[in-house]
Amino acid sequence: MTEETPGFDEKPDVPSGATPDDAEPQAATPSTEEAAAPAGDASAAQLAGLTAQLDQVRTALGERTMDLQRLQAEYQNYRRRVERDRIAVKEIAIANLLTELLPVLDNIARARDHGELVGGFKSVAESLETVAAKMGLQQFGKEGEPFDPMIHEALMHSYAPDVTETTCVAILQPGYRIGERTIRPARVAVAEPQPGAQTVKADSQDSAEAADDKESGGPDEG
| Model confidence pLDDT, tens digit, residues 146-177 | 999 999 999 999 998 888 999 999 999 999 99
Q: In this predicted structure, what is the pLDDT of residue 27?
A: 47
Q: In this predicted structure, what is the pLDDT of residue 213?
A: 58
Mean pLDDT of all residues in 123-135: 93
Q: Is 8 left (phi over 0), alpha (psi -120 to 50) or beta?
A: beta
Q: In this predicted structure, what is the pLDDT of residue 30?
A: 52
Q: Tell which wins on pLDDT, 17 or 130.
A: 130
Cβ burial, residue 192 (10 Å; 0-12/13-18/19+):
middle
Question: Is 80 exceeded by the pLDDT of residue 19?
Answer: no
Cβ burial, residue 173 (10 Å; 0-12/13-18/19+):
middle
What is the strand order of the sheet 181-184 is part of? Answer: 137-140, 175-178, 181-184
* pLDDT, tens digit (0-9, with 9 covering 90-100), for 38-83: 666 778 888 888 888 888 899 999 999 999 999 999 999 999 999 9
Measured distance CA(199)–CA(61) in Å, rounded: 80
Measured distance CA(49)–CA(114) in Å, rounded: 96
Q: Tell which wins on pLDDT, 203 or 125.
A: 125
Check if the beta carbon of residue 164 is closer than 8 Å to that of residue 144.
no
- Quickly count: other Cβ atoms within 10 Å of residue 152's Cβ: 22
Q: In this predicted structure, what is the pLDDT of residue 219?
A: 47
Is-above-0.85 flag for pTM? no
